[in-house]
Amino acid sequence: MRGSRAILPTLPPMRIRDLRYCLALLFLHPLCAEEILLASKAPPRFGAADLGHMVLPLPPGGAELELQRTASTPYDIYFNSVREVIKGLEPQKQSMANVAHLMKVGYSFQYFTRDPYRPDPPPLTEAQRAGDCKSKALWLYNGLGDSGALLTIGKSQKNSKTSHAWVYWRYEGRWYILDCTDQRDPMLADTVGADRYVPYYSFGKYGTYRHPAAQAATPANSRTATVAVGAPDRNVIR
């Protein structure tokens, strides 16, 4: 009617919520759609964990190791060889006999450190039959070819000043510690004392993880320091 105010129709509550939802979509960050697309195409391996907002499955039994997905670790800039191994990993199941054999071969390699942070590529470690703990662990991880295994950085002794590297491998529902630097044979992880083999970070086909000990060791308002992997006194030829 002329001279009267137009009266807008009252929308039912459900339609108002729909309108709010549509308006919210208009103001979403423009990268969100692209991130979702990338996330859907990301393979379940080392690089996939860089998408920290993704919810990917943990490796089988991962909850037992208290794995916490993380977008980065202090070792990322040094672990190009780790990325290459994980990228080219062709999953296969190993028998305990084969793993025990790999352990003894790795244990027979001489202890030799080329770089305090960067592990040697597995072909170099095997050709030289020498390497430090991180190079031996990466060689062993590559030989396993098990997509559920984890290359782990931590402390062989809780109060050690130097980090150590080993492999977590799951067999018949239990985790084993494979440390071919200091041990000839696989060890059941649940039989090792709490002050030994304390994991900080793990890398695998399903992603990158932080363990509770890494967070506990990080002072408030500071970044976790990168500790050299491999003790300088491990220069004995085994």
Structural domain includes residue 13: no
- pLDDT-based confidence at residue 29 (cuts at 50, 70, 90): very low
Give yes or no for a contact between 173 and 189, defined as CB atoms under 8 angstroms apart: no
- Number of domains making up the chain: 1
Which range has the worst mean pLDDT, 30-34, 118-122, 204-208?
30-34
* Region 147-169 average pLDDT: 95
* Region 80-92 average pLDDT: 89
Return the pLDDT at 107.
98
Structural domain includes residue 115: yes
- pLDDT-based confidence at residue 218 (cuts at 50, 70, 90): low
Structural domain includes residue 202: yes
CATH, residue 176: 3.10.620
pLDDT(63) > 70: yes
- pLDDT-based confidence at residue 228 (cuts at 50, 70, 90): low
pLDDT(210) > 60: yes
The gap from C-alpha 3 to its chain's centroid, in whole angstroms, comes to 71
3-state SS string for the chain: CCCCCCCCCCCCHHHHHHHHHHHHHHCCCCHHHHHHHHHHHCCCCHHHHHCCCCCCCCCCCHHHHCCEECCCCCCHHHCHHHHHHHHCCCCCCCCHHHHHHHHHHHHHCECCCCCCCCCCCHHHHHHHCECCHHHHHHHHHHHHCCCCCEEEEEEEECCCCCEEEEEEEEECCEEEEECCCCCCCCEEHHHCCCCEEEEEEEEECCEEEECHHHHHCCCCCCCCCCCCECCCCCCCCC
Structural domain includes residue 183: yes
Among 123, 130, 134, 125, residue whose Cα is nearest residue 226: 134
Return the pLDDT at 179.
98
Return the pLDDT at 58.
83
pLDDT(44) > 50: no
The pTM assigned to this predicted structure is: 0.71
- pLDDT-based confidence at residue 93 (cuts at 50, 70, 90): confident
Return the pLDDT at 91.
76
Structural domain includes residue 70: yes
Structural domain includes residue 44: yes
Return the pLDDT at 89.
84
Percent of the chain with pLDDT over 90: 60
pLDDT(76) > 50: yes
Residues spanned by the domain of 81: 31-216
- pLDDT-based confidence at residue 226 (cuts at 50, 70, 90): low
* Region 165-174 average pLDDT: 96
Structural domain includes residue 209: yes
pLDDT(167) > 90: yes
Structural domain includes residue 14: no
